[in-house]
């Protein structure tokens, strides 16, 4: 954050939108009021004094006040982050790298490579970002947080060491064992295809085969068929179909139960839980068809009992956060626990070092607090004393995808009905894969939009999502009609 001392930034704030600019004006007028306590805050701030020197805008110094934010990523999750962040009264301007067509209405989009952590850090310097929020896992696993720390820039996201919880499933599994956190029994870790094939003779069926490294959601197979397991190992380890991520695998026990996504925000010590969510990975209704990045999600009060939430926090979340501290790699940022709720209690299936997508969309529409302020605290002085407030009731996100997704798709289809969809009460249309030309939007990837709504009940939230979905048209558009249907007590939430 910075306070303007007798000058204003060179760049305008037009792209933030009229309402926001008005509030910025108010804050500019009141800027002097921030100065007094800002001096004290600056002393505590994590950004070293030199941070002001690398800021190209000489009129500004880091003392607290207005905030410039860079969001990294370009999907529905990042659109939800930008949408919520810009509601913060102290937010001056948001950039998004690379962003997408829809995001470009709410933030200035800048093209960027997700693996180029030095380039992303330079971008943060160039735009004078007081806070950077990372959406996807790739830059985190590549060490973006370390690069920002070296340059004295605030960032929400774990260090490279800490991001191994997602970047290496073997590391995560061994970490869970070291800290006695409930998870599926490990059969073994294999570096050579020969060892992996032989191990299949000794495992219980069904078995779970997992590639160690990042595989964009394609590196896990649960199967009762030795032939299928063998073929999967061959594709992973010999043909390297999913890249280096598949050259090492682990095999573990198959757990039974319902899955739950449990995400927390942590500064390494304090932990703030977000509403738990359920996702829908398969492309078609009734959990049929291939896996996707996620076709929809929901959250609702009472989704899990207080007793279960307590067990998740005490037996899983706190030991994990403390375990990372004990191993010298404190975890900061969003930490996603993929859980299986088994008869013997919740067990960890995996970690993600970020918000899920589309979980973030359903979570952030319920956020009733200043996300910019909370994330800035997470990245700097810490979360002590902060609490998160959530809209009561429920929320849901229904993903609309391109024909062929999750396989090959043809981009560039014109999207109609966006304005009508966003007029549906309590609906926010998040863009996952669109590009904008003048005021016309076109599809640009597999997942295109996330129709997201809040409601007093899950049923109400879903009704609004589907009403909005019904107003959108693009060639080949498809979406699941049964998001949250089981929980909402209906066979088909869309009535279809």
Question: Which residues make up the interface to ligand ADP (CB under 6 A)?
Answer: 184, 208, 217, 219-220, 222, 252-255, 259, 338, 349-350
Q: How far apart are CA 451 and CA 471, in angstroms?
A: 11
Residue nearest to Mg ion (CB): 338
144 binds, among Mg ion, ligand ADP, none (CB under 5 to 8 A by kind): none
Nearer to Mg ion, 65 or 73 (CB): 73
149 binds, among ligand ADP, Mg ion, none (CB under 5 to 8 A by kind): none
Question: Given strand 440-443, what is the order of strands in its sheet?
Answer: 414-415, 440-443, 434-437
Nearer to ligand ADP, 184 or 335 (CB): 184
Nearer to ligand ADP, 254 or 388 (CB): 254
Q: Measured from the CB of residue 323, what is the shortest distance to Mg ion in angstroms?
A: 20
Residue identified by tokens 């960890």 is: 348
Identify the burial level of 105 via C-beta atoms within 10 angstroms of its C-beta, where 0-12 means exposed, 13-18 middle and 19 or more buried. Answer: middle
Stretch near Mg ion under the rule CB under 5 A, chosen from 91-99, 286-294, 334-342, 380-388: 334-342
Nearer to Mg ion, 294 or 484 (CB): 294
Q: What is the DSSP string of 193-242?
A: HHHHHHHTTTS-SSEEEEESS--TT-SEEEES-HHHHHHHHIIIIIS-TT
Q: Measured from the CB of residue 285, what is the shortest distance to ligand ADP in angstroms?
A: 17
Identify the burial level of 6 via C-beta atoms within 10 angstroms of its C-beta, where 0-12 means exposed, 13-18 middle and 19 or more buried. Answer: exposed
Q: Measured from the CB of residue 350, what is the shortest distance to Mg ion in angstroms?
A: 5
Torsion, Cα of 9, 15, 18, 24 (10° steps): -30
Q: Measured from the CB of residue 216, what is the shortest distance to ligand ADP in angstroms?
A: 8
Q: Measured from the CB of residue 338, what is the shortest distance to Mg ion in angstroms?
A: 5
Nearer to ligand ADP, 252 or 482 (CB): 252
Q: Measured from the CB of residue 218, what is the shortest distance to ligand ADP in angstroms?
A: 7
Residue nearest to ligand ADP (CB): 350
Grouping H, G, I as helix, E, B as strand and the rest as coil, residue 188 is strand
The residues, ordered by sequence, that sit 6+ positions from 242 with a Cβ below 8 Å of its Cβ are 211, 215, 216, 218, 219, 235, 236
Nearer to ligand ADP, 336 or 430 (CB): 336
Binding status of residue 338 toward Mg ion by CB under 5 A = yes
Q: What is the DSSP string of 371-387?
A: HHHHHHHHHTT--TT--
Q: How far apart are CA 355 and CA 273, in angstroms?
A: 12
Q: Measured from the CB of residue 166, what is the shortest distance to Mg ion in angstroms?
A: 9
Q: Measured from the CB of residue 387, what is the shortest distance to Mg ion in angstroms?
A: 28
Residue identified by tokens 């682990």 is: 250
Nearer to ligand ADP, 15 or 223 (CB): 223
138 binds, among ligand ADP, Mg ion, none (CB under 5 to 8 A by kind): none
How do 131-134 and 60-73 pair as beta strands?
Answer: parallel
Q: What is the Cα Rg of the chain in Å?
A: 23
Nearer to ligand ADP, 9 or 157 (CB): 157
DSSP state of 8: -
Nearest to 318 by CA among 341, 339, 335, 338: 335
Stretch near Mg ion under the rule CB under 5 A, chosen from 98-106, 174-182, 191-199, 330-338: 330-338
Stretch near Mg ion under the rule CB under 5 A, chosen from 94-102, 176-184, 349-357, 425-433: 349-357
Q: How far apart are CA 325 and CA 460, in angstroms?
A: 42
Q: Measured from the CB of residue 219, what is the shortest distance to ligand ADP in angstroms?
A: 6
Stretch near Mg ion under the rule CB under 5 A, chosen from 31-39, 249-257, 304-312, 336-344: 336-344
Tokens of 85: 């962040």
Contacting residues toward Mg ion, per CB under 5 A: 338, 350
């Amino acid at each position: 954050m910075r306070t303007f001392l007798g000058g204003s930034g060179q760049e305008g704030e037009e792209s933030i939108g009229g309402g926001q600019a008005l509030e910025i004006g108010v804050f500019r007028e009141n800027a002097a009021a921030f100065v007094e306590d800002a001096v004290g805050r600056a002393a505590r701030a994590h950004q070293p004094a030199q941070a002001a020197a690398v800021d190209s805008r000489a009129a500004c110094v880091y003392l607290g006040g207005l905030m410039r934010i860079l969001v990294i990523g370009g999907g529905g999750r990042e659109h939800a982050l930008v949408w919520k962040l810009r509601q913060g009264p102290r937010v001056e301007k948001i950039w998004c790298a690379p962003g997408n067509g829809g995001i470009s209405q709410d933030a200035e989009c800048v093209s960027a490579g997700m693996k180029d952590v030095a380039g992303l850090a330079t971008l943060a310097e160039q735009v004078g970002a007081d806070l950077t929020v990372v959406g996807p896992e790739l830059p985190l696993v590549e060490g973006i947080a370390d690069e920002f720390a070296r340059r004295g820039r605030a960032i929400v996201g774990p260090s490279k060491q800490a991001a191994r919880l997602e970047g290496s499933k073997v590391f995560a599994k061994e970490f869970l064992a070291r800290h006695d956190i409930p998870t599926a029994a490990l059969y073994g870790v294999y570096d050579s295809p020969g060892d992996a094939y032989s191990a299949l003779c000794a495992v219980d069926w069904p078995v779970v085969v997992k590639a160690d490294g990042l595989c964009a959601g394609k590196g896990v197979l649960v199967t009762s068929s030795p032939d299928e397991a063998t073929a999967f190992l061959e594709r992973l380890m010999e043909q390297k179909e999913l890249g280096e991520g598949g050259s090492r695998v682990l095999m573990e026990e198959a757990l039974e139960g319902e899955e739950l996504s449990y995400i927390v925000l942590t500064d390494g010590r304090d932990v703030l839980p977000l509403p738990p969510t359920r996702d829908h990975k398969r492309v078609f209704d009734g959990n049929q068809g291939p896996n996707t990045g996620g076709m929809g999600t929901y959250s609702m009060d009472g989704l899990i009992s207080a007793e279960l939430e307590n067990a998740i926090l005490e037996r899983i979340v706190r030991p994990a956060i403390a375990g990372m501290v004990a191993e010298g790699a404190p975890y900061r940022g969003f930490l996603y626990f993929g859980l299986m709720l088994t008869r013997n209690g919740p067990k960890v299936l995996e970690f993600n070092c970020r918000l899920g997508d589309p979980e973030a969309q359903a979570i952030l529409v319920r956020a009733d607090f200043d996300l910019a302020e909370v994330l800035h605290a997470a990245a700097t002085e810490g979360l002590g004393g902060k609490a998160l407030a959530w809209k009561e009731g429920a929320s849901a996100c229904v993903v609309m995808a391109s024909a062929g997704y999750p396989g090959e798709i043809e981009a560039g289809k014109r999207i109609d009905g966006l304005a009508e969809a966003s007029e549906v009460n309590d609906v926010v249309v998040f863009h996952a894969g669109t590009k904008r030309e003048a005021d016309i939007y076109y599809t640009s990837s597999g997942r295109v939009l996330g129709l997201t709504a809040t409601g007093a009940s899950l049923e109400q939230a879903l009704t609004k999502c589907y009403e909005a979905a019904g107003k959108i048209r693009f060639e080949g558009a498809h979406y699941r009609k049964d998001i949250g249907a089981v929980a909402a007590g209906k066979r088909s939430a869309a009535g279809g």
